[in-house]
Structure 1
Amino acid sequence: MRNYLGLLTAIILLFLISSCKSGEKLYNKGRYDDAVEAFVKKLQRRPQDATSLELLPKAYEQSQIQHENKVNGYLASNDPLKWESVRREYGAMQKLYKAIQASPAALAVVKPKDYRSELTGARENAAEVRYDRGMELLEKGDKMSARQAYQEFAATLKMVKNYRDAQQRMDEAFQLGTINVLISQIAVRSPYFQFSADQFRAELIQNLQTRNINSFVKFNDERIASAQQIRPDEYLEMQFYDFEVGQTYVDRSQRDVSREIEDRPLKDTSGKLIKRYMTVKATIYIVKKTVISRGLLDYRITDVNNNQVLRQDRIPGSYTWVNQVGSYRGDERALSDEDKRQMGGVDMAPPPPQELFLAFTKPIYDQLASDLQYFYNNMQ
């Protein structure tokens, strides 16, 4: 027990010594903010620590000089967002103020400056600059400027919560900057597959909305948009082209197989066993049904205002359904392991055309969703 207490004491002393050296090392490297925090923490544990009491005032003074020099430099610059940099410097100094205030030992040797008023002023000025930039962009009236204005108003509210009517203006910018994409009904010449095409479109719209591809892009069903009188900005038109569903191929094959196997041995005249071999035969029958469904989807995105085609492409898709049944006649011993794997199976009817339609459109659906995500994430 005594050895354990001795070891624990040694570890604590080593930690305190290293902590002190750490603060002094930070000070010597010119990292005055970090040094101040290190000395304050040390004084909270050991209020009489001589090194910390000596170097803390020097570290704080140097830190204050550094930050105020930066503030003066920012204020003299032409950077329109300079108040945000000023706010950052005052924020760093206020953090040191709070740290020193929380330590009586540190407060005894340093009288830190309270930068609350300077910090508040910098925030107000930064918010005003962002707000004015947002209003200037909003007044341009185009979607790109509105999206930029939205970001400016969001930055305004980050600086000062409930700043003037920034929230209202941000909502206004969002509405103006949003692109309403109207997704048309899919043209399918065969009424037999129209329900499947509608399912394809419904799932696409739901997926695009769930993906949140771009906060400024809203996808709308053509029928719903018409009922709600939503004015479209872009029109996504789709048409299945050159598609076939349920192209069936039946392949019947048979082949003869044989193997030489060991038969029961015979005894010769001397009574010695003699190995004998025999050939076993079988005929394998394989019926393989293959149903192929495939097609192409043409899609085109058009700007409603000027009828300009923004993007168009053609996406292929296919699905192959296979059913195989294997049987044999003859001696099972003639079958190899591979032959046996082909045996069995149930003669099944292929899925109905509606299912086959959805199956071959699945890869088209995935590719189209990815294409749209790329397009709208990279829009200007």
Structure 2
Amino acid sequence: MKTFSASIRSTQQLFVSGILLCILLFSCKSGEKLYNKGRYDEAVTTFVKKLQRRPQDATALRMLPDAYTKAQQAHEDRVNEYLRSNNQLKWESVRNEYRTLQNLYNVIHNSPAALRVVQPKDYRDAITGAQENAAEIRYDRGMALLDKGDKASARKAYDEFGATLKLISNYRDTKQRMDEAYQMGVINVVISEIEVRSPYFQFSADQFRDYLVRNLQQRNINRFVLFHDERIARSQNLRPDEYLELRFYDFVVGQTYVDRIQRDVSKEIVTGTYKDSTGREINIYQTVKATLFITKKTVVSKGVLDYRITDTNNNGQTLRTDRIPGSYTWLNQYGTFRGDERALSEEDKRLIGGRDEPPPPPQDLFMEFTRPIYDQLERDLQSFYNRF
């Protein structure tokens, strides 16, 4: 039994060794394939991984130096191409090339076996220099845009300063300049109070406007567009860039219509059975009838919202105007019947089960017919202010 167990262990060890040998051979072959395809960065990484597992691997030791030299030359050539170009943002591309080379440096330094055959170049100083040049370019572009003094340029400057901080988080006074660009580029939109002819519905109109302002503020349609309640803006002496004027008109709330409908219904029902001469069971049918008396009460509410967006910095120039209709119909049906209840359908029974109910108060009806108006207005504003 001991001899048999030892034999099994020996077989298992040979099997595992065979798998490891295949992996190593495949790894080496994979590195050679990458090298032959000109994918020198990947070849370097593959050869280094091979040496970490098998420090004396002849193929990896032989090919790694050449793979690194070719990878280094390819990136250096690209750096020189970028430096010769007229692209203002070339230093960001240069930095990316140096970062890739530094990654190769780090990979090789993690393997003592690889370091014996390759002395990689440290590009940390080159990365720092390229990053500083890139940040300076972005900063100067932002300042040039900021000096133009208009909102569109200020918004572009904001993005340039943001790119500067991504390169160097504490570069000069970039954070202060970025805040300055934002304040200069922001569009302050003041939403007007809504006047309605009937003071009875003023509270409902105010609810509509308050909900609109609050939702627009929370949704943050555009980072450069801020929405303000006219009352608050006035108390803070905030000067609007654009003014959104809202006005309800031609609205009817609570106009009631009553229709009375009489309808005859009938149905054939089985009232019993009998057996014919062959013994087969036959149903006995009877037609039952009833008359329905239905009262249908509807309350129609409808209206139109006019809105207009004007540019307060350009003599009140109209930027957008539109008219949005809305409607809501409240319905209540109930009834009675005369005749045989068995003639009624399930739908008829539900009507009979109803009762006369008063319509909602006018303020609620006002809010209902303004819901589709609100949804359309919000979509319009989102589309309009997404352009910034």
Per the normalisation by structure 2, the TM-score is: 0.90
Q: Which amino acid aligns with 2:328?
A: Y
What is the CA deviation profile of residues 266-314 of structure 1, one whole-angstrom value per residue up to 9, with x for unaligned ones?
Answer: 899xxx9997544322111222222221211111110001111111111
1:312 equivalent to 2:328? Answer no
Sort the Cα spacing of 1:22 and 1:344 in 2 relative to 1 into closer, same or farther, 3 A: farther
CA distance in 1, matches of 2:110, 2:182: 44
Aligned pair partner of 1:325 in 321, 331, 334 = 334
1:343 equivalent to 2:355? Answer no
Deviation at 1:42, TM superposition (A): 2.4
Aligned pair partner of 2:55 in 38, 41, 47 = 47
Sort the Cα spacing of 1:298 and 1:334 in 2 relative to 1 into closer, same or farther, 3 A: same
Q: Which amino acid aligns with 1:167?
A: K
Aligned to 1:257: 265
Deviation at 1:32, TM superposition (A): 1.2
Deviation at 1:10, TM superposition (A): 5.2
Deviation at 1:8, TM superposition (A): 5.6
Sort the Cα spacing of 1:337 and 1:130 in 2 relative to 1 into closer, same or farther, 3 A: same
CA distance in 2, matches of 1:266, 1:88: 95
Aligned to 1:367: 376
CA distance in 1, matches of 2:39, 2:303: 66
Aligned to 2:109: 101
Secondary structure (helix, strand or coil) at the match of 1:323 reads strand
Aligned to 1:378: 387
Sort the Cα spacing of 1:126 and 1:273 in 2 relative to 1 into closer, same or farther, 3 A: closer
Sort the Cα spacing of 1:14 and 1:332 in 2 relative to 1 into closer, same or farther, 3 A: farther
Sort the Cα spacing of 1:72 and 1:356 in 2 relative to 1 into closer, same or farther, 3 A: same
1:205-216 correspondence runs (5 A): 205-216=213-224
CA distance in 2, matches of 1:374, 1:275: 67
CA distance in 1, matches of 2:312, 2:81: 50
Deviation at 1:9, TM superposition (A): 5.4
CA distance in 1, matches of 2:320, 2:182: 24
Deviation at 1:337, TM superposition (A): 4.2
1:163 equivalent to 2:158? Answer no
Per the normalisation by structure 1, the TM-score is: 0.92
The gaps in structure 1 that reach 5 residues or longer are: none
Deviation at 1:349, TM superposition (A): 1.4
Deviation at 1:80, TM superposition (A): 1.1
Sort the Cα spacing of 1:331 and 1:117 in 2 relative to 1 into closer, same or farther, 3 A: same
Higher alpha-carbon deviation: 256-265 or 122-131: 256-265
Aligned to 1:244: 252
1:32 equivalent to 2:36? Answer no
Sort the Cα spacing of 1:10 and 1:194 in 2 relative to 1 into closer, same or farther, 3 A: farther
Q: Which amino acid aligns with 2:226?
A: K
CA distance in 1, matches of 2:295, 2:62: 94
Amino-acid identity (%): 68
1:137 equivalent to 2:177? Answer no
Deviation at 1:29, TM superposition (A): 1.2
Q: Which amino acid aligns with 2:327?
A: S
Sort the Cα spacing of 1:284 and 1:175 in 2 relative to 1 into closer, same or farther, 3 A: same
Sort the Cα spacing of 1:26 and 1:263 in 2 relative to 1 into closer, same or farther, 3 A: same
Paired residue total:
377
Aligned pair partner of 2:293 in 285, 289, 300 = 285
Q: Which amino acid aligns with 1:285?
A: F
Aligned pair partner of 2:132 in 104, 116, 124 = 124
Secondary structure (helix, strand or coil) at the match of 1:317 reads strand
Aligned to 1:334: 343
Secondary structure (helix, strand or coil) at the match of 2:105 reads helix
Deviation at 1:368, TM superposition (A): 1.1
1:176 equivalent to 2:184? Answer yes
Deviation at 1:247, TM superposition (A): 2.1
Secondary structure (helix, strand or coil) at the match of 1:189 reads coil
Secondary structure (helix, strand or coil) at the match of 1:349 reads coil
Aligned pair partner of 1:68 in 49, 52, 76 = 76
Aligned pair partner of 1:233 in 241, 265, 283 = 241
Sort the Cα spacing of 1:8 and 1:341 in 2 relative to 1 into closer, same or farther, 3 A: farther
Higher alpha-carbon deviation: 284-293 or 181-190: 284-293
CA distance in 2, matches of 1:35, 1:260: 87
Secondary structure (helix, strand or coil) at the match of 1:343 reads helix
CA distance in 2, matches of 1:330, 1:4: 92
Higher alpha-carbon deviation: 205-214 or 38-47: 38-47
Deviation at 1:6, TM superposition (A): 6.6
Deviation at 1:98, TM superposition (A): 1.1
Deviation at 1:342, TM superposition (A): 3.7
Deviation at 1:19, TM superposition (A): 2.9
Higher alpha-carbon deviation: 251-260 or 87-96: 251-260
Sort the Cα spacing of 1:374 and 1:4 in 2 relative to 1 into closer, same or farther, 3 A: farther
Q: Which amino acid aligns with 2:54?
A: R
Aligned pair partner of 1:85 in 84, 88, 93 = 93
CA distance in 2, matches of 1:19, 1:131: 46
Deviation at 1:43, TM superposition (A): 2.1
Q: Which amino acid aligns with 1:246?
A: G
Sort the Cα spacing of 1:313 and 1:7 in 2 relative to 1 into closer, same or farther, 3 A: farther
